[in-house]
Structure 1
């Protein structure tokens, strides 16, 4: 999510929610819920005919799987949902090779009910624990006995994804008024959060006898595009039109795994999720439906190359070279006309995006042998730090600790900053912005442009803007299909550049993640937000509506249907 500078906007922009679009989204959510109910009913009906409709239980005898599924695509697709209903894992093929190296740190979590099995670090396929064709997918099962399915299996390519409709009830009432809370931009709304398709090949990082390769292409459509947008890649939807729903490609990368370099070296190139956050843009990778403010205002994606080296079974080192954050290589060196030369940009031209510059990332990760403890320390996309589209100089880390099989804690803290951010208290800086003298003036970026700063003094033209966070998730595995997460965080937007308001925030929430099977999950939650120093909620800078509340209570829920 981006904060906004400049004058009030006369309208929210083309493509925003109309009544018709809202009805369509609500209808989609109802269809998803109806599908869930039909599957439940079908499974209940089968109970009277035995454990499996066609005889035999694949969970007891894996050889029963094909007879149970049937032969045509639709039967196999539906029957696989029915088969997994009420289970926390897929039926296990006894012929599969081990899914991890036997001397590797122990796997700390299970999925479900957690959103991951390995403590997240990003920028790489998980080393030492990844096999090709390892994603449990009803779509892949449905296609498995077709010529196309055989070809995909031979090439170790999988095609899968999910639909994620959701909604919220909020004390906010203004369109866009839930911000700076994220992933439910509009209050009191039902929406399609994301529809995602993965086309991928996972490299085999367990073996150590041959070079392997992989890739992922991951288009996304829905409301959540506004949080993944990179300047220069279909960004007109957010920055010129402020559409409610849009499309993006947060991941499009290839990778090569070289097993002979120490314990394995993976090289990823393309656009990928930045490291090392607890959370990610993709819905199934998160404890809760909403996201922390810590995640909302940090680095989302980098485009470049990331090398991940398992130096030992316990130590992983990462180094990357990118074109900044949420910026594209074709903006590096690009310039536009400057109609209002000033002390900020004195030449007749100025960079199209000052943040699109060569940047480096360094990270180190340690895991204990028992898998109970994990630390990541990272400097992400570091460069000169000039005010850019999302040119965040990110320094921080994550820590995970597993107390026992039921309880674990996840902690993240970081500091990020940008330099030479125009001072919104300075009349000359405001004139420069208004007259098109910055790359992010309303003439070029009418919606959701990077924010200016509330500097300590009105006398300076610009200043450094900082953002500090501390986040904790405390998680309880109640059953193999249920997880309860409690979130607490503190955020200090020192100059108001990230959220649009110079204030400190506290936020706390609790969410329940319930899985009906490995393919269908629901995530109800409630969160409380408080801005301590100024009003920050129930406003919309795009509409010129100032915030008029210093708190927000948001109840929300979504359903994720994997395919």
Structure 2
């Protein structure tokens, strides 16, 4: 992906100060005698007043109780705002006060319990006043915050056309908030921020009054809560924010050599290929140093005090992906993906990462890491998890949306076997050749096999490297694409994998039980058994093959009376059955060829059998065939742009599945451009 440049782990530029002492005693001649003095290392000080702005996503949830029943509605919007605060630092600990406000259209509506009128909320701002406590890990500040929350929410009950019976109620609301975040010092007085806040305004009873006359109409109670995810930029008014930290006299920080890869060498060249290693999900590769540096981090590293940023191993990076397609279909590309609209240009992904990878090369201490990934664009539809901002898709079916497909912490234990990495949080489902993250894919479009398997999971994954050839994984999650707090859908779901590689690393076999529980119908509760085989023929030709079998039990029939989960399909059960067993199986093969240092060529073929139509919505088998080219180019640094044109043909054998069920065949000419930062 990016140009591989060394990441040195020392503290960088250390200014040694030599004090010259004058010998003024009664000696025959004065002399200047050089002696050792303390060394000074730049350390960031968070103390002082700061102001800033932010952009983010706001999600407001309202649960109504009226005299004739209840309803739930939710508004979400892009939020723009600002913050002002003051920090005081004592050692590594930072305490402070902060006020912030953000504005956005959080309006939403739903059908009132009477089935006739519309119940809707007008809410346009959120504000908080909080205390903060944090710990400085230069150049980052990790913090918790809590305090008061404020908003105004006006509630309306209106007829389809203006009516003298229309009602209004609500007003100013006060609640509480709790949040977590990280400030990352870029240079001198500027820092970037990523923050999540939960705001709870409780339940409030109030009168709904007639809009026309102001007279009482009925009593209402509304429970209101909100979430905000924010990306911000702050300016700290502290001219001495790089304070000298004194090391003991004689102590120096030697520049360490770049850590070397342990174990087997990488089988592939990246670039041009999207990755240098065979697929592994749920963990970074143990024994492989983190040496990838994007253009934004390179710019920071080359700036003042860049060595301190290197030492922290915290990185911020991302990309923007824009795609276009032309197709024989005119209404829909489904079940193909990720592009779903024919003959259009789309913003597929805008991604912002903050992460720190554990150091899995060293052997002397337990290390830690974390990852937070923010995605906006069309592709949120393929990362969404029920219970995490999922109303954007499941309730509103919005074309574009926001998601946080990964947020997890990691601990690495070098003392266990050849190393064990423990990941806790929300992570991308394992294992796959393909990934939701655009630069890691061989082609722009995705196989049906990948589109209809799990996207993300929330739980714990343990990855243990037994030796250079064997690796095992085990853990558990709450189910596929469902948050643990979704009581009706979340299920305790174990997982386990084994990965074998040959001694020359030309072959890898990676079988997994990705999800196994009782298998009863729930949101995306497929049971999944999968294997991936990768093989390198020579330095210019490799192939990867993935096969899986999935099923669910007691899936409601599309012809029956039972409800079907949103954004999923029922099964085409035999006549007279209201539920049935719904399996599916698929196989995909990639043939990958290196053309030059910046170019590669791909052939992809697959077969997908949706036995009961539960995965794709059509009871049929499919084949898809794609040919594509990847070309890396320079934008604001080496290999910071990727262009991927592609030709795709697909066919459904048993029923028309394309163009909203009107065609058995579909041809797509597509391309995307990715700009990495």
Shorter-chain TM-score tier: 0.7 to 0.9
Map 1:307-322 → 2, pairs under 5 A: 307-322=462-477
Tell me the secondary structure at the aligned position of residue 130 of structure 1: coil
Structure 2 counterpart of 1:138, from 295, 309, 312: 295
Bigger Cα Rg:
2
1:202 corresponds, among 335, 357, 363, to 357
Cα distance in 1 between the residues matched to 2:577 and 2:450: 30
Structure 1 stretch displaced more, 156-165 or 202-211: 202-211
| Counterpart for residue 292 of structure 1 | 447
Cα distance, 1:115–1:492 mapped onto 2, change above 3 Å = same
Q: Residue 483 of structure 1 corresponds to which residue in structure 2?
A: 600
CA distance in structure 2 between the partners assigned to 1:110 and 1:416 by the alignment:
33
Distance in 1 (CA, whole Å) between partners of 2:413 and 2:668 is: 47
Residue 269 in 1 paired to residue 383 in 2? no
Aligned to 1:3: none
Residue 189 of structure 1, aligned match among 341, 344, 349: 344
| 2:259 is the alignment partner of 1:98 | yes
Q: Give deviations 1:5-64, integer Å, cap 9, x for gaps.
A: xxxxxxxxx99xxxxxxxxxxxxxxxxxxxxxxxxxxxxxxxxxxxxxxxxxxxxxxxxx
Equivalent positions of 1:27-46 (< 5 A) are none
Q: Relative contact order, CA 8 A, sep 6+: which one is greater? A: 1
Partner residue, 2:275 = 116
TM-score by length of 2: 0.61
1:553 aligns with 2:667: yes
CA contact (8 A) 1:105 1:368 kept: no
Per-residue deviation, residues 108-140 of structure 1 (Å, max 9, x unmatched): 012111111110111001111133xx2221101
Out of 294, 312, 324, the position equivalent to 2:479 is 324
Q: 1:513 aligns with which of 630, 633, 638?
A: 630
Pairing of 1:370-449 with structure 2 (within 5 A): 370-425=504-559, 429=560, 431-433=561-563, 440=565, 445=566, 448=567
In the alignment, what sits opposite 2:571? 453
Aligned twin of 1:126: 285
Out of 135-144 and 467-476, give the one that drifted further: 135-144
Write 1 or 2 for the structure with the bigger share of helix: 1
Q: Which residue of 2 aligns with 1:360?
A: 494
Shift of 1:147: 6.0
Q: Structure 1 residue 146: deviation in Å?
A: 4.6
Alpha-carbon distance in 2 for matches of 1:326, 1:370: 36
User: Counterparts of 2:271 and 2:429 in 1: how far apart (Å)?
Assistant: 24
Can you list the C-alpha shifts for 1:193-221, whole angstroms capped at 9, x where unaligned? Answer: 00111100011111211111111100000
Matches within 5 A, 1:142-181: 142-146=299-303, 149=306, 151-174=308-331, 177-181=332-336
Which SS does the other structure have where 1:329 is aligned?
coil
The answer to whether the 8 A contact 1:288-1:511 is kept is: yes
State the Cα distance separating 1:150 from its structure 2 match. 5.0
Give the secondary structure class of the aligned counterpart of 1:260: coil
Structure 2 unaligned segments of length 5 or more: list them. Answer: 1-74, 77-187, 191-254
Partner SS state of residue 538, structure 2? coil
Contact 1:130 1:203 in 2 (8 A): no
CA distance in 1, matches of 2:256, 2:494: 43
Residue of structure 2 aligned with 1:466, choices 561, 564, 583: 583
CA distance in 2 between counterparts of 1:474 and 1:95 reads 40
Asked whether the equivalents of residues 259 and 289 of structure 2 are also in contact (C-alpha less than 8 Å), the reply is: no
Deviations 1:402-460 (Å, cap 9, x if unpaired)? 000000010000000111101123xxx2x333xxxx6x2xxxx4xx2x210002x2111
The answer (yes or no) to whether the contact 1:202–1:215 under 8 Å persists in 2 is yes
| Structure (1 or 2) with the greater strand fraction | 2
Aligned to 1:370, what secondary structure does the other structure show? Answer: coil
Shift, 1:518, TM fit: 2.1
Shift, 1:555, TM fit: 0.7
User: What secondary structure does 1:323 align onto?
Assistant: strand
Tell me whether 1:529 sits opposite 2:650 in the alignment: yes
Q: How many residues align?
A: 425
Q: How far apart, in 1, do the equivalents of 2:260 and 2:439 lie? A: 21
Would the aligned equivalents of 2:562 and 2:578 in 1 still touch at CA under 8 Å?
no
SS at match of 1:369: coil
Contact 1:387 1:420 in 2 (8 A): yes
1:506, distance to aligned residue in structure 2 (A): 0.6
Match of 1:281 in 2: 436
**1:468-487 CA distances to partner (integer Å, 9 max, x unpaired)?**
00110000001111110000
Q: Which runs of 5+ in 1 are unaligned?
A: 1-13, 16-70, 74-93, 335-350, 540-546
| 3-state SS of paired residue (2:485) | helix
Would you say 1:221 and 2:335 are equivalent positions? no
The match for 1:25 is none
Q: CA deviation at 1:95?
A: 6.6
